[in-house]
Structure 1
C-alpha cells in the first residue's frame, strides 16, 4: 500500500469528534483525499440541539460514462465515557492493537478506504466518499441532508449519483470478513401518554388515576406478536423502554403517566402501519401516542454486488461472509434511495465500549479488500 491505513486511522482518532461532529476531523480527511484528485464539498447543516453537523462529499471523476462507486461512513463517535486505559482521543499502539475512540466505529474503515484509493487509478471510474458527522446522533442533519446536496450537485453537472454504495460499518463479528449486511430492520420510537386527574389517595373518587390504564395499555402492547420473521429478517420486536410518572408524593394520585416503546421491524411492516396499530391500542385505553420513525426496513437482495464483495473478502481472508440483516440501524437506510447498498467492515466487538481497539493487521487487510471491491464494482456492467 502506498498509504498506511494504521497511520491514517491514528490521524482521525486524534481529532475529537463526539456527535454531532464538525471541524478538524473533516480537515484531516480532506487533506488525505485532495492530493488524490478529489473535489471536496463540505456543508454545515442545522442548529442546536441536533446540530450544527458537518457533512463531506468528495468525488473524483473518472472517464465520461464510467461507473460511479461510493463509499459511505461517519466521522462522529459516541462519547468515550470513563475508565479508559489511555486517552480516548490520542491513538495508542499496544501490541497488535490500535486503541482510540472510533478505531472500529468507524474511523478505521474510512482510513482503510482512503488507503485503498491510493492504488486505484482515476481512469478506473468515478469514486466518491459520502461522510457525515451525525450518524451516532439523531441523524436529522446528516446523511439524509447530504444526499440532497449530492442531488443538487448532480443536477448542476458537478458530479453524478452513485451506481453502487458500500457502507463501512463494523459488520464482522468474530473475525474480519465473517459477516456483511445486505439489509436492516426498520426502527420506530413511540411515546405514550395517559392523562388523569390529580387528587388525594384517600379520596380516589375525586381523582382519576392514569397508571392502571397505562399498565393495561402496556400489557396489551407487550403481548403483541408482530410476526414470525420473513425470508431475510428475524421477527420484529416491540420493547417497552421507559415508564415514568414522576410523582414525589406518597399520598397523591398523579395527573399523568407516560411510557416509551421501541420497535425494530422487518419487511412485513411499515413504520406508519405500526404507529397506527399502537395508536389504536393507546386510544382504547384513553391514551395518546407520538412517534418518530427512524427508518424503514430495506434489503439489497443477494446478487452481483454482494457476490463481488464476498469474492474480495474470500480472496484476502479465506472467509466466506454471512449475508445478514441483524443489528441496529445505519445510514444505509438513507443511501438505499440512491442505489443498491451493502455494509461491510471491521470486527464490532469493542464498538461503543471503553478501550475501543482495532487489530492493525485488520486495517491493512480491510484496505486490500476495499480496493478489490471498488475495482470490481467499477468494472461491473451497468444494469
Structure 2
C-alpha cells in the first residue's frame, strides 16, 4: 500500500515555491510510472506540469484528478516554529509549506489511484493532471495540461480537484462551482495645481472618490440558488502625493469583484467602463481603465458526480458535505469546460499561514474517500 502521509512529507521536502518544480513532479512521475501509469511532462514556459494516465487512451470512463504541487513563499522563515520544508510530524500533525494547500491532496489521490489500479484494475482509465502553476499566474499550468489533452485526444469523463474545501471539520463541504473573479484598475488624470488655487487645477481625487463610491454603493445582485450575492471591494486608492499644498495630477484606484452566475466578466467590464466614462464627463477629467478577468463564474449542477462524492465522504466521515460555491478561484474554472468537475479536500484552516499543517489522520481519510469514489465509479 502507498503511504499518503509519507508521500505528503516527501513532497513537502521538495521546495517547489511557484513556479519552481523543486523535485515534486519528478518524484510523482517516478512513483506513478512504477505503478504502470503512462507519464508525460507537459512543461510550458517556466512551468512544469505532469500528465499521467493508467488505462486505455480515450476511454469513455476516464476518471480524473487535478491538483498542484507549487506552493506560496514561506514569508518570514524565522516566524515558523517548524522548518517549512522538513515535513516533520509532531503530535499527529504534519508541518510544512504545502501540507494543506495542497501536497496532501495530491498525495492522497495519487496513492489512492496507485493502490486502486494495482488491487482492482478498472475497466476504464484514471488520469492525474498535476500542475506547478496554480499559486502563480495559472497561465501555463492546468491550461497547458488541457491544451495537451485536446491535442492528444485525451479526455476525462469527470474530475475531482483536490483543493482543501472543508472550513473546520473533515467532510463538511465540497465545491460544485466558484464565483468569477476580476480586478479593475483606474487612472484618473486631471491638472496639477496649487491647493490654494483649486480653480486653476482639475483635481483627480474627488473624481476617483466619486467613482469608487458609485461602484461600491451599487448592489450587483441578491444572490442565486447556489451562489451568495456578488461583491465589489475597493482595494486601493492612491495619489503618491506627499505634499499638502499640491493638487496632484493623477490618482489611481482599483476594485476587485467576485461575481456569481448572474454575470459575465464581459458584462461587468462594460458596466465598469460606462461608470468611469460618466464620472470623467462629470468632472472634466480623463479616466483610463484596465480590467483583468481571472475567471468566470461556473456551476456543476448537483447530480451524479456530486452525489458520488457526497456518498463517499459520508461513508468515511459520517458527514454529508454541503454543496458550496464559496471561496476564491481554483483550477476547476478551467476544467469545467472539459468535463463535469467538483472539488473536495482537507480542512484548509492553515493554508498559506506560518506553520501550515495538517492532521495525519485527515490524509488517511482523504485517501479512503478517493478510493471509495474510484471503487463506486468503476463498479
TM-score (norm 2): 0.94
User: Greater CA deviation, 362-371 or 55-64?
Assistant: 55-64
| Rounded Cα–Cα distance in structure 2 between residues aligned with 1:63 and 1:274 | 40
Displacement of 1:357? 0.7
User: Which residue of the other structure, out of 189, 214, 220, is the alignment partner of 1:195?
Assistant: 189
- Summarize deviations over 1:110-153 as a string: whole Å, max 9, x none: 10111112321233420111111111122122211221111111
Secondary structure, in 3 states, of the residue corresponding to 2:188? strand
Structure 1 vs Structure 2 CA RMSD: 1.4
- Size of the aligned set, in residue pairs, is 368
Give a deviation string over 1:255-310, Cα, whole Å, max 9, x none: 11010100000000001111110110111111232100011111111111111111
Corresponding residue to 2:250 among 237, 252, 256: 256
Residue in 1 aligned with 2:364?
364
Aligned residue in 1 for 2:344: 344
Deviation, 1:39, is: 1.4
Taking the aligned partners of 1:91 and 1:23, their CA distance within structure 2 comes to 14
Equivalent in the alignment of 1:271: 265
Correspondences of 1:291-302 after superposition (within 5 Å): 291-302=291-302
How is 1:168-183 mapped onto 2 (pairs within 5 angstroms)? 168-183=162-177
Deviations 1:175-210 (A, max 9, x none): 111100001100011001111112222332332111
Task: Please tell me whether residue 89 in structure 1 is matched to residue 88 in structure 2.
Answer: no
Contact 1:244 1:257 in 2 (8 A): yes
- Pick from 107, 112, 116: which aligns with 1:111? 107
Alignment of 1:28-67 (within 5 A): 28-46=27-45, 52-62=46-56, 65-67=59-61
Matching residue of 1:143: 142
Cα displacement string for residues 188-235 of structure 1 (whole angstroms, at most 9, x for unaligned residues): 110011111122223323321110111111111111000000010000
Unaligned runs of 5+ in 2: 281-286
- Answer whether contact 1:70 1:127 (CA < 8 A) is retained: yes
Q: Does structure 2 conserve the Cα–Cα contact (< 8 Å) formed by 1:190 and 1:260?
A: yes
State yes or no: 1:236 paired with 2:235: no
Which 10-residue stretch deviates more, 134-143 or 289-298? Answer: 134-143
Q: Which residue of 1 aligns with 2:202?
A: 208
Q: Output the CA distance in 2 between the equivalents of 1:107 and 1:21.
A: 14
Contact 2:122 2:378 in 1 (8 A): no
For residue 376 of structure 1, report the CA deviation from its aligned partner.
2.2
Q: Supply the distance in 2 between the matched residues of 1:64 and 1:325 (Cα, whole angstroms).
A: 30
SS of 1:56's partner is strand
Matching of residue 24 in structure 1 with residue 23 in structure 2: yes
Q: Which residue of 2 aligns with 1:3?
A: 2
In the other structure, the counterpart of 1:378 is 378
Distance 1:273 1:64 in 2: 37
Query: Who is 1:331 aligned against?
Result: 331
**Gap runs ≥5 in structure 1:** 47-51, 155-159
Give the alignment's TM-score, normalised by structure 1.
0.93
SS of corresponding position for 1:161: coil
3-state DSSP class of the match of 1:140? coil
Match of 2:124 in 1: 125
More displaced stretch, 217-226 vs 200-209: 200-209
- The DSSP-based 3-state class of the residue aligned with 1:228 is coil
Q: Does the aligned pair in 2 maintain the 1:116–1:368 contact within 8 Å?
A: yes
Contact between 1:40 and 1:59, CA under 8 Å: does it hold in 2?
yes
Corresponding position of 2:283:
none
Shift in alpha-carbon separation, 1:64–1:248, aligned structure 2, 3 A: closer
| Alignment check: 8 A CA contact 1:179 1:321 kept | yes
Q: CA deviation at 1:62?
A: 3.9
Query: Cα 1:256–1:104, aligned 2, differ >3 Å: closer, same or farther?
Result: same
SS of the residue corresponding to residue 123 of structure 1 reads coil
Determine if the alignment matches structure 1 residue 245 to structure 2 residue 236.
no
Separation in 2, partners of 1:64, 1:57? 14
Task: For 1:224 and 1:106, locate their aligned partners in 2 and report how far apart those are by CA, in whole Å.
Answer: 36
Q: What is residue 49 of structure 1 aligned with on the other side?
A: none
What are the residue-to-residue correspondences of 1:310-325 with 2, within 5 Å?
A: 310-325=310-325
> 2:211 aligns to what SS in structure 1?
helix
